[in-house]
Amino acid sequence: MASTRSLKNWVLPISSPSTDDESLLKSSTMTKKGVYAAISYMFCIVLLVMFNKAALSSYNFPCANVITLFQIICSCSLLFAMRRWKIISFTVGEPWPLTDNSVMLVPFKTLVHTLPLALSYLLYMLASMESVRGVNVPMYTTLRRTTVVFTMIVEYLLTGQKYSYSVVGSVGLIVFGAFIAGARDLSFDSYGYAIVFIANITTAIYLATIARIGKTSGLNSFGLMWCNGIICGPVLLFWTFVRGDLEMTINFPHLYSIGFQVVMLLSCIMAFFLNYSIFLNTTLNSALTQTMCGNLKDLFTVGLGWLLFGGLPFDILNVIGQLLGFFGSGLYAYSKLKGK
């Protein structure tokens, strides 16, 4: 491990896998560092949803895949620069390696080991980006709260993770509130709803994969982000070229608009910090805790989305459902902090 003096040079905290992976996976309490990671994630995701929604809806940008591509390029550029300047490291143990002979900056064997994580990340990003387009922000956040069920199932299948009655009860309350909130959605869109549920499934797979590969690859949060970027970037570039998205982007009427460029830049920056906080939160806490943090931040997302974008008429069932969901998320957070 790095010395105390070396660790002071770090600008951002990193995740370091425990020597006992199973005990970390099954830990029931949240550390102080884990709480900070959770709060950082909630802050980043609220802003990112707003910026993505502004680009896709307010400016009617037609290519969600291109936004994801820009975010990956921005993330890899920042990581490469910080790695070369020895601000960060990609591996656990030393603050930075003595040599940088590898073109990929990580061993090829490690890159192959993270391939399932990169593929699940690509599916997660594409589905999540597309799901924002077809559903108004309040209902989007409501439907996304059902991700907790998929996450619990995937974690159980991959790690045998079991949960206390208080955790299961809080999850049940969240899902029940989500169904009540959407019972009379006047802007119902079957395609939009289907994409959101697909995004929920891919999110659960992605988070559970982080929890497993993140603890066995020898990479920290930055290293995992780097591997995701250099694997997914070329694949997504080829896909956007084949679909004609790049040509549509070049011909986009607002491409040179200052407002649109600012929204895109902020979206890319927030995507970088969001991915970092996701890796940190999931490895320090758990995939389910990461999902529940996404539910706790919904209060701010719903409020901002209602004010900035509208799209959801006032309905008493929606309000009751939202409150039940927030109460369930708070109950889960309390159970984790108390170690129940």
The residue ranking higher by pLDDT, 99 or 278, is 278
171 has pLDDT over 60: yes
26 or 121, higher pLDDT: 121
Residues 58, 51: Cα–Cα separation, whole Å? 10
Residues 168, 266: Cα–Cα separation, whole Å:
37
Say whether pLDDT at 76 is over 60. yes
Q: Can you give the pLDDT at residue 77?
A: 92
Task: Answer yes or no: is pLDDT of 11 > 50.
Answer: no
- pLDDT at position 70 is 92
Kindly report the average pLDDT of the chain as a whole number: 74
Which tops the pLDDT comparison, 248 or 32? 248
| pLDDT of residue 176 exceeding 50 | yes
Instruction: Note the pLDDT of residue 238.
Output: 92
Encoded tokens for 88: 């960060």
338 band by pLDDT with thresholds 50, 70 and 90: low
Q: Residue 64 pLDDT > 50, yes or no? A: yes
Q: Is the pLDDT assigned to residue 119 strictly greater than 90? A: no
Q: How many residues does the chain have?
A: 340
Alpha-carbon distance of 165 to 105, in angstroms, equals 45
> Does residue 223 or residue 293 have the better pLDDT?
223
Q: pLDDT digit string (tens) for 145-159?
A: 777 777 788 777 776
Tens digit of pLDDT for each residue in 243-301?
Answer: 899 889 999 998 888 999 999 999 999 989 888 887 776 666 665 555 556 555 655 55
Closest CA to 267 of 58, 68, 37, 57: 68
CA distance 276 to 75: 10
Span 15-22, average pLDDT:
44
Mean pLDDT value across residues 197-216? 82
- In this predicted structure, the answer to whether residue 73 has a pLDDT above a threshold of 90 is yes
State residue 311's pLDDT score.
52
- CA distances to 65, 181, 199, 303 from 188, in Å: 24, 12, 17, 20
Of the candidates 273, 221, 207, the one whose C-alpha atom is nearest the C-alpha of residue 45 is 273
What count of Cα atoms within 13 Å lies in the side-chain half-sphere of residue 206?
26
Percent share of the chain, pLDDT over 70: 67
For CA atoms 91, 96, 99, 104, the dihedral sign is positive
- Give the pLDDT of residue 74: 92
Is the pLDDT reported for residue 305 higher than 90?
no
Residues 6+ apart with CB under 8 A from 117: 206, 209, 210, 213, 214, 224, 227, 228
pLDDT at residue 8 greater than cutoff 50:
no
